[in-house]
């Protein structure tokens, strides 16, 4: 079994705020889900997922089981203390220590949030639908800190050279903000490459968040490190985690 090799967030958050994204290596799943799949909704052997989640907690010495959400590409961002099994949401926040927030991705963008003092954290799952509908803004509004006091970090997601979409997707973003057209490059009639990282940065900056880091890893173009639904279809999921020690 390969070693578990996470991608740690490099951002100016206080040291007692831990933030990372797992890769696909180091777990017990096989086949299309090889090997560190943490998604329990993708068709993998439930026992393998259970063992991978136990390995996750053990490896990173997590203070608690992550707060797993039922993600639906929506805009609901919930207080982690109110999450129960099956809670539908695409983000969570907390100001409590030792509460591990989590989102699962395999091309969508995990967005980590934190105030500069490290007293409040959040995380959202941003696919194009959620991003267009305002999931990032919902996460920011859920945070109690002033806007100028918030930091954001963008985890691994499908990159600008790999994510082709149709006119409908472009229109959803341009309808909200004409400047969003800068994040789209034409590839043919009615087809566009979309830069999700750039679109997310625009949304964050428009909300007043000036400190934004990350966004350099492409899940599609790094098959040895990441699952990618767009590339592979059936596949596992990485977990992005954030907690206050």
Domain segments of the chain: what residues?
Answer: 7-158+211-244
Q: What is the mean pLDDT of residues 165-184?
A: 97
Across 4-19, average pLDDT: 96
pLDDT at residue 191 is higher than 90: yes
- Interval 195-224 mean pLDDT: 97
Q: For the residues 226-242, what does the mean pLDDT come to? A: 98
Domain 7-158+211-244, CATH: 3.60.140.10
Q: What pLDDT sits at residue 79?
A: 98
Over residues 47-75, the mean pLDDT reads 98
- Tokens at residue 129, please? 């639908």
Confidence class of residue 31 from pLDDT cuts 50, 70 and 90?
very high
User: pLDDT tens digits, residue range 112-148?
Assistant: 999 999 999 999 999 999 999 999 999 999 999 999 9
**Residue 71 banded pLDDT, cuts 50, 70, 90:** very high
Determine the pLDDT at residue 3: 86
- In tens, the pLDDT along 211-223 reads 999 999 999 999 9
Percent of the residues in the chain that have a pLDDT greater than 90, as a whole number? 97
Residue tagged 């797992």 (tokens): 22
Give yes or no for a contact between 155 and 111, defined as CB atoms under 8 angstroms apart. Answer: yes
> For residue 1, what pLDDT band results from cuts at 50, 70 and 90?
low
CA-based end-to-end distance of the chain: 29
pLDDT of residue 7: 97
Q: How far apart are CA 156 and CA 3, in angstroms?
A: 19
> How far is residue 186's CA from residue 181's CA, in Å, rounded to a whole number?
10
Nearest residue to 145 via CA among 172, 118, 178, 127 = 118
Q: Return mean pLDDT, the chain.
A: 97
Give the strand pairing for 150-154 and 238-244. unpaired
Question: Is residue 80 over pLDDT 70?
Answer: yes
């Amino acid at each position: 079994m390969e070693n578990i090799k996470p991608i740690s967030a490099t951002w100016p958050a206080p040291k007692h705020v831990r933030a990372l994204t797992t890769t696909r290596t180091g777990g017990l799943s096989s086949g299309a889900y090889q090997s560190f799949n943490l998604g329990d909704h993708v068709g993998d052997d439930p026992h393998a997922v259970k063992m991978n989640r136990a390995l996750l907690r053990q490896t990173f010495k997590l203070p608690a089981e992550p707060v797993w959400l039922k993600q639906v590409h929506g805009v609901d961002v919930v207080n982690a203390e109110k999450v129960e099994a099956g809670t539908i949401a695409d983000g969570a926040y907390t100001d409590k220590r030792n509460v591990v927030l989590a989102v699962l991705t395999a091309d969508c963008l995990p967005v980590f949030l934190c105030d500069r003092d490290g007293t409040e954290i959040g995380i959202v799952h941003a696919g194009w639908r959620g991003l267009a509908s305002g999931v990032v803004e919902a996460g920011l509004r859920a945070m109690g800190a002033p806007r100028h006091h918030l930091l954001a970090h963008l985890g691994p997601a499908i990159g600008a050279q790999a994510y082709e979409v149709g006119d409908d997707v472009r229109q959803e973003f341009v309808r909200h903000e004409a400047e969003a057209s800068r994040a789209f490059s034409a590839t043919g009639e009615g087809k566009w490459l979309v830069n999700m990282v750039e679109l997310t940065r625009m949304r964050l900056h428009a909300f007043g968040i000036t400190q934004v880091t990350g966004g350099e890893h492409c899940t599609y173009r790094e098959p040895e490190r990441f699952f990618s639904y767009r590339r592979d279809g059936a596949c596992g999921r990485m977990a992005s985690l954030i907690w206050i020690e």
